[in-house]
């Protein structure tokens, strides 16, 4: 009896081999690397690694089950506009083609071996020498502990483009091997942040420069190592410094942190300039054990296009919504996130930026959770929280990237 069962097993396995032979599936391989391994590697936020064929074979059935019931990859922020530039935001659900390809590739060990044959060999493409903007100082991230914020000043080199469509993490900052989870950028033409960064090891502070929020020049993240504005739009890059605000997470060993980015130059067509507005809760306080919603209104004085949303927050920010309330009271959803996690967050960029008319109000709701039920709650029992750095403080902000005019 036993023999017969294993014989049938063999037959089934052979059928799959025959079926999958020679069909190294580029869709499955790309989906795995772009949509799973971004988090599931040596020091990603996820507990298991899927960056070798051995690991995939070990976890294949669990992977398949979670893809099948749509638990993985985790849902990204939903934007009802559904026009987020897919490659540059946490994209949420897989497409049907990606899902089918991945399920087929995970169906058997042989199918996995064939589909992911190229996995180990995949070279990382290097980009031609773009000018780099690199933190002046460096900091050693401790092996263990909680999420930290470290802000570095970095000099804009003279050969950097004046108008910038976006950014990418420089190759040295391989996002898969670094403790950086999120890197938000602010211009600092007056170099004021160098005063804070006096030890040359970054400052433990938010990267805002005066009233200019960090994120005003966009953001990069582990899940979106390249950030790009939609076609037609660009940031004006001032001379002086940038402030690179990095959200870091210890990775189990000491790691050197020295953020470095490369600008992506704008083309002659990218004529619209992008600026920033921030929604913040002032003053911020959340009682121990409290879950509350705080609403912030940003009145819009002139017509503008809403180009992107950079959400920032610590462990007490559970979710947010961004809505536009027109002068006639009509509401439209812009973005919402129910399970915000800074370490897997990515900025949103709209492919077709919606118009926000003069006289409307942008309404931002922050869902703040200082209860025991918050899975990221660092304290037991919960303690009162005020504005400040994580993990004791909270500094939730929604930065809107906007471009004046219709």
Distances (CA, A) of 225 to 87, 105, 180, 261, 386: 10, 26, 11, 10, 31
Q: Which is nearer to ligand HEC, 98 or 270 (CB)?
A: 98
* By CB under 6 A, residue 221 contacts ligand HEC: no
Which tokens is 165 given? 């469509």
Tell which one of 17, 48, 265, 389 touches ligand HEC (CB under 6 A): 48
| Shortest reach from residue 61's CB to ligand HEC, in Å | 9
| Shortest reach from residue 70's CB to ligand HEC, in Å | 10
Tell which one of 28, 29, 40, 209 touches ligand HEC (CB under 6 A): 40
The piece of 59-67, 127-135, 195-203, 249-257 that touches ligand HEC (CB under 6 A) is 59-67
3-state helix, strand and coil shares in percent for the chain, rounded to the nearest 5: 20, 35, 50
The piece of 71-79, 128-136, 288-296, 360-368 that touches ligand HEC (CB under 6 A) is 71-79
* By CB under 6 A, residue 39 contacts ligand HEC: yes
- What does the DSSP assignment read for 306-367? EEEEEEE--TTEEEEEEEEE-TTS-EEEEEEESS--GGG---EEBSSPPEE-TT-EEEEEEE
* By CB under 6 A, residue 399 contacts ligand HEC: no
The piece of 7-15, 55-63, 131-139, 317-325 that touches ligand HEC (CB under 6 A) is 55-63
Distance CA 74, CA 60 (A): 18
* Cβ atoms of 28 and 102 closer than 8 Å: yes
Tell which one of 74, 92, 378, 393 touches ligand HEC (CB under 6 A): 74
Indicate if the alpha-carbon torsion angle 5, 11, 13, 19 is positive or negative.
negative
CA–chain centroid gap for 131, Å, is: 23
Tell which one of 17, 66, 81, 325 touches ligand HEC (CB under 6 A): 66
* Cβ atoms of 218 and 85 closer than 8 Å: no
Tell which one of 20, 28, 36, 180 touches ligand HEC (CB under 6 A): 36
Tell which one of 8, 42, 62, 87 touches ligand HEC (CB under 6 A): 62
CA–chain centroid gap for 221, Å, is: 4
Give the residues lining the site for ligand HEC (CB under 6 A): 35-36, 38-40, 45-48, 59, 62-63, 66-67, 72-74, 223, 344
């Amino acid at each position: 009896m036993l023999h017969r069962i294993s014989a049938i097993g063999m037959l089934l396995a052979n059928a799959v081999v025959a079926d999958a032979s020679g069909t190294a599936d580029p869709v499955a391989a790309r989906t795995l690397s772009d949509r799973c391994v971004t988090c599931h590697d040596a020091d990603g936020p996820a507990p298991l690694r899927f960056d070798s064929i051995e690991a995939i074979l070990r976890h294949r059935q669990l992977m398949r089950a979670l893809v099948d019931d749509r638990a993985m990859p985790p849902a990204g922020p939903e934007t009802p506009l559904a026009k987020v530039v897919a490659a540059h935001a946490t994209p949420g659900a897989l497409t049907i083609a990606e899902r089918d390809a991945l399920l087929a590739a995970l169906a058997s060990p042989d199918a996995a071996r064939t589909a992911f044959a190229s996995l180990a060999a995949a070279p990382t493409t290097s980009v031609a020498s773009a000018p780099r903007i690199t933190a002046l100082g460096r900091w050693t991230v401790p092996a263990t502990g909680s999420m930290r914020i470290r802000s570095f000043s970095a000099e804009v080199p003279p050969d950097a483009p004046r108008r910038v469509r976006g950014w990418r993490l420089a190759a040295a900052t391989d996002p898969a091997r670094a403790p950086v989870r999120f890197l938000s950028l602010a211009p600092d033409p007056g170099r004021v942040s160098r005063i804070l960064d006096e030890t040359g090891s970054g400052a433990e502070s938010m990267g805002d420069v005066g009233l200019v929020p960090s994120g005003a020049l966009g953001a990069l993240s582990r899940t979106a190592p390249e950030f790009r504005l939609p076609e037609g739009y660009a940031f004006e890059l001032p001379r002086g410094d940038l402030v690179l605000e990095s959200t870091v997470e210890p990775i189990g060993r000491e790691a050197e942190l020295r953020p470095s980015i490369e600008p992506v130059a704008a083309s002659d067509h990218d004529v619209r300039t992008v600026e920033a507005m921030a929604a913040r809760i002032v003053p911020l306080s959340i009682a121990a054990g409290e879950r509350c919603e705080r609403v912030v209104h940003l009145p819009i004085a002139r017509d503008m296009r809403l180009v992107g949303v950079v959400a920032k927050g610590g462990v007490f920010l559970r979710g947010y919504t961004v809505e536009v309330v027109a002068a006639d009271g009509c509401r439209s959803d812009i973005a919402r996130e129910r399970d915000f996690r800074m370490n897997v967050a990515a900025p949103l960029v709209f492919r077709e930026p919606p118009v926000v008319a003069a006289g409307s109000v942008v309404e931002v709701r922050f869902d703040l959770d200082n209860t025991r039920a918050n899975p990221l709650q660092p304290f037991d029992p919960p303690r009162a929280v005020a504005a400040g750095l994580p993990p004791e403080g909270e500094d939730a902000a929604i930065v809107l990237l906007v471009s004046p005019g219709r």
